[in-house]
Chains A and B, each alone.
Chain A
Amino acid sequence: MIAVGAAVVIVAVLLTVIFKTAGGNLDVVGKESITSFESILKAVPDKVTADQTNAGWSLAAPDGSVRFIWSEDYSKSPLHDVMLEFDAEPFVNAGLDKSKLPKNYAAYDEMLMVGTKLGNNKLTYKGDPTPLAAYEQIVGKYRSSIGYHTALDHYNVNLGNGNLFEWAKDMKINKSTNENQDKDIVFVLNPEPLIAAGVNPDKVKGWVYTTVKVDIDGKPTDVYKFLKPFNLQ
């Protein structure tokens, strides 16, 4: 009985230590993603702006060619709740026929938008909604849209159909490789619908067409992507 008691105590202490270390939240990926997303927002405050059209906030790339937009109220966001908006020109020049784009794409004013609808509910906030609070709503209510990319030591928001917005867990170092982190934010497009719409991927300027290792259903898989990485520091 003493041994059983001791074993129970050890297990209880062990779980408590782990739980405490995790800050009382077992969803460490979700929790840590909020912390790191906040770091990104703080790193480029001038690039974070309200987006009235999409009822949310946007984080623009340093060159302004692409934005990650996330809604603060899904009942008001017209098209998508999380999305990328980017210049159409490089793709048009590479042969894009906009009329052939699938339904999750929108084309307007020389811009393309791709994303996904997470829900239709009105999101509520303690106080005024902020860019970070709007992101926290995704973690809290649509947790499966948040992922962790082991190879790049990145978090990501899944924009649907293989499109992602990724940011570094730590802007200084990639802990997977122990190398300097030079890709603080990465805009990721699935090339397949674009290629199907006439784009010659090798002729797209400003985007890197390459294979990346992504986790599909938990399995690391090599897939082609259009990438636009930025080092914010």
Chain B
Amino acid sequence: MDSQVLSIRGMTCAACAQRIEKTVRKLSGIGQATVNLASEKLFVEYDDSVVQLTAIKEAVAKIGYEVVEKTDNSSVTIPIGGMTCAACAQRVERAIKKVDGVTSASVNFATEKATVVYEPQKARLSSVREAIEKAGYKALEINKADAADEDRKRKQKEIRILWTKFIVSAMFSVPLLYIAMVPMIKVIRLPFPAGLDPMQFSLIYALAELMLVIPVIGVGYKFYTIGFKSLWQRSPNMDSLIAIGTTAAVLYSIYNTWQIAQGNFKAVEHLYFETAGVIITLILLGKTLEAVSKGRTSEAIKKLMGLAPKTAIIMQDGMEKEIPIDEVEIGDILVVKPGAKIPVDGTVLEGHTAIDESMLTGESMPVDKKAGDPVYTASLNTTGTIQFKAEKIGSDTALAQIIKLVEDAQGSKAPIAQMADIVSGYFVPVVSMIALLGGIVWYFATGGNLEFALTIFISILVIACPCALGLATPTAIMVGTGKGAENGILIKGGEALETAHKINTIIFDKTGTITEGKPAVTDVLPADGIEKEYLLRITASAEKGSEHPLGQAIVHGAENAGLKLLSVENFESLTGRGIEAKINGRAVLAGNRKLMDERGISLVTLENASDKLAGEGKTPMYVALDGKLSGIVAVADVVKQSSQAAIESLHKMGIEVAMITGDNKKTAAAIAKQVGIDRVLAEVLPQDKSNEVKKLQAEGRKVAMVGDGINDAPALAQADIGIAIGSGTDVAMESADIVLMRSDLMDVPTAIQLSKKTIRNIKQNLFWAFGYNVIGIPIAAGVLYLFGGPLLNPIFAAAAMSLSSVSVLTNALRLKRFKAATRKNREVST
């Protein structure tokens, strides 16, 4: 299955999103199709051998929506120096076109710019520039519009167009409303042109209203083109409701204008041009505010995108040269001076500095970097100049991966949205039926009062708001996941966000999660007849081939003690138990109690010492030489400063905290006691970690697993929510639902709090969106009027409808104020 994210234009409400999803799902070979109304993106999984992407695009286009093409080709505008005539432009153009991979080139002599479209896989910008230079002209600084800018510009343009439409619409509908309302206002006498007196100049008055409403309809033409097209295709949307309602008002008013022209002046009392005009204006206002608010929901992504620097300093022939970021290639040697940002991911070759990685990890303390250390795009070099080798560029950088992860999450749907999706699918047809029924019932109930029936009909159509339903979930998810990213918490999707709030048990991996993961040798206890130094040396020599943190700690311990390691003849790692090696003809066995028991080695002589070490939270590593216990090398890991505070916070949230470790029970219990763990799962083999998760799940618990190592991956995948911490491995992060960019455990309660707040926000949004329609539609249908209350004017219905979407968006944007409630604890603890 291939997957693609397509940008869709032309959607106006949840019904549109539903329609696109249904249309795409109908195609054969489609695995999944979800549309995010707020981000205007279609996520589609498809079988390339059954259905082509072009067929999907065509299907979407066929039902009236635009798929914004994202071509593989890149486009640049290169300013050219040295051209003196049109022939020069021709020459440059020919030279560029000759470059392999250039698909088109156009040189404008007047603007002195070349527009080049090329395949980045084949052509390099540097080769295009070389071609220009070879032709005898100067290729000046290149401006390459990036996708983020394009998207931002497109959205800004959309807002500008909507705003202009609203202004134009208001310019006509305000005077329209004025001349329609002033003659009816009895309380005060407002200035009114005598030539428009409806009783004196009825036809002129009606025509003036008609002339004022025409431009409003003109600027709101999309409501009609999309609305009626959708209606024609039997999948009406919000535009259909607006189109039907306002068309009914305008047609009835035109009929009455014709009546006036025939001499029936009383018809002047039955003009509803202002209703149509004001409805369109208010909806346009709502759409404008909606577009502005929608833009704000994706600010987190924009912020992330804005972090990357635009240029890099490259070392070429021993000289520093500033080049656009797009021209950096893997293997380039780049120079970063203090105060500058790291342009791409790589490894430090020379120099020493401290780099502020807070924009990526949220960690405020700069990290020391020296030769061999990795550096990441967009992090800030603070103190020294460094040279580093570019290793990951473009979409492969950590920043680009994070952006993609957040984008994918923002485009995903939460299960809680299902109800809104189902309702949205039936909403418009049902509302249309209610409106029709309401109109007919009132027509007969009022003895054939067509105006009254029409008012009811229009009000119901206009007050019904599928937009609010469609926006309720995705906007909150966008803001919630964006806010998470700002705090170094990458939530991989709406489902993870929703599940996280239900978590009642969290299992922490011990090593590297609760502890720093950097254990050190604390005690060396040799058995009788064995020298302490020898014990450490032979154990470290045996552990040299081990990748286990405990083994590495012993190797470091020996190195630090200045011991020369011995050569190993044979090495075998015994998963979850230890290692076995042969050194200088001696069989070396180092590991836990389980290993010793398996091999029948008695631990009696060092039993008390072992218990004492474990009681202190140290891990005793038994060492046997030639099948006989020869001593214990104890290793201890330091508990992270934030662990205790994080566990306290989780307890306050009513969450039970467990710790899982392969360590012995006593050591595990000691660590657990230190940080306040409720339940200890000790001596668990790596392959059994996921089973422990299963056991807890079988108790009916919603379990989150927090880990960092490869051996945690199955447990992370098994848990309802897998949380990988940032200092961990790629595999762990791949298996996780939530990735914490830094190793601070306080981010675990923060992630859960964010999830709880986001879900609460979604529920509030859904409540208002449903509640608004549940209350609004009966009022519009005249239920209050039935009991002596007022009848809702369609204009107020339009205002209320517009406000409903805006209020849902505004509520979602409140999440931007989310602050990690546990921050204070973190600060106290550090």
Contact = CB atoms under 8 A, between A and B. Distances in A.
B200 A28 contact: no
Interface string A2-23: 0100010001001101110110
A17 B263 contact: no
A85 to B, nearest CB: 26
A147 B199 CA distance: 7
B260 A150 contact: no
B266 interface: yes
A218 B263 contact: no
Interface in B239-296: 254, 257-258, 260-266, 269
B186 A144 contact: no
Contact of B258 (A7, A21, A147): A21
Contact of B262 (A7, A21, A146, A148): A21
B425 to A, nearest CB: 29
A153 B199 CA distance: 11
Contacts of B201: 26-27, 29
B106 to A, nearest CB: 26
Interface stretch (B31-39, B190-198, B620-628): B190-198
Given A15-B207, A148-B202, A175-B266, A28 B258 contact: no
B197 A22 contact: no
Nearest to A177: B266
Contacts of B264: 175
Quick one: which of B182, B186, B201, B254 has the most chain A CB within 10 A?
B201
Contacts of A21: 258, 261-262
Interface string A73-93: 000000000000000000000
B263 A32 contact: yes
B70 interface: no
A63 interface: no
A217 interface: yes
Interface string A100-115: 0000000000000000
Contacts of B269: 150
A218 B197 contact: yes
Contacts of A148: 199-200, 202, 265
A176 interface: yes
B602 interface: no
Contacts of A14: 210, 254
B207 A7 contact: no
B204 A26 contact: yes
Interface in A96-143: 143
A150 B199 contact: yes
B221 A3 contact: yes
A215 interface: yes
A218 B198 contact: yes
B214 interface: yes
Given A26-B203, A147-B199, A18 B186 contact: no
B570 interface: no
A21 B258 CA distance: 7
B261 A150 contact: no
B265 A18 contact: no
A27 B183 contact: no
A225 B507 CA distance: 91
B189 A146 contact: no
Given A7-B218, A18-B258, A28-B263, A217 B192 contact: yes
B261 A18 contact: yes
Contacts of B184: 219
Interface residues of B, number: 33
Contacts of A27: 201, 203-204
B258 A144 contact: no
A7 B254 CA distance: 15
Nearest to A215: B199
Contacts of B266: 150, 153, 175-176
Interface string A138-181: 00000110111010010000000000000001000001100000
Contacts of B258: 17-18, 21
Contacts of B192: 217-218
B221 A29 contact: no
A144 B200 contact: yes
A230 to B, nearest CB: 23
A143 B182 CA distance: 22
A217 B193 CA distance: 10
Given A148-B199, A218-B192, A28 B265 contact: yes
Contacts of A175: 264, 266
A28 B189 contact: no
Q: Which of A15, A143, A217 has the most CB of B within 10 A?
A: A217
Interface string A29-52: 100100000000000000000000
B225 interface: yes
A146 B185 CA distance: 23
Contacts of A153: 266
Interface string B206-244: 010010001000100100010000000000000000000
Contacts of B257: 18
A28 B260 contact: yes
Contacts of A15: 207, 210
B19 to A, nearest CB: 22
Nearest to A146: B200
A165 B265 CA distance: 19
A172 B184 CA distance: 30
Contact of B207 (A26, A169, A217): A26
A148 B210 CA distance: 22
A221 B254 CA distance: 28
A218 B203 contact: no
Nearest to A155: B265
Given A3-B225, A215-B199, A29 B189 contact: no
Contacts of A176: 266
A144 B194 contact: yes
B250 to A, nearest CB: 10
A219 B182 CA distance: 9
A59 B382 CA distance: 102
A14 B378 CA distance: 62
A28 B202 contact: yes
Contacts of B183: 218-219
A166 to B, nearest CB: 13
Contacts of B218: 7
Contacts of B204: 26-27
Interface in B158-193: 182-186, 189, 192
Interface string B90-123: 0000000000000000000000000000000000
Nearest to B196: A218
A147 B263 contact: no
A150 B270 CA distance: 13
A103 to B, nearest CB: 25
Contacts of B182: 218
A143 B221 contact: no
A150 B198 CA distance: 11
A48 B51 CA distance: 89
A3 B264 CA distance: 33
Interface string A53-83: 0000000000000000000000000000000
B142 to A, nearest CB: 37
A58 to B, nearest CB: 25
A27 B205 CA distance: 10
Question: Could you say which of A19, A21, A32 has the most chain B C-beta atoms within 10 Å of its C-beta?
Answer: A21
Contacts of B261: 18-19, 21-22, 28
Contacts of B254: 14
A150 B225 CA distance: 39
Interface of B: 182-186, 189, 192, 194, 197-204, 207, 210, 214, 218, 221, 225, 254, 257-258, 260-266, 269
Which A-B residue pairs are the 3 nearest by beta carbons? A218-B183, A22-B261, A21-B261
Given A176-B266, A221-B186, 17 more contacts: A14-B210, A18-B261, A21-B258, A22-B203, A26-B201, A26-B207, A27-B201, A27-B203, A27-B204, A28-B260, A29-B203, A147-B199, A150-B199, A219-B183, A219-B184, A219-B185, A219-B186
6 contacts: A3-B221, A3-B225, A19-B261, A148-B199, A217-B189, A219-B184
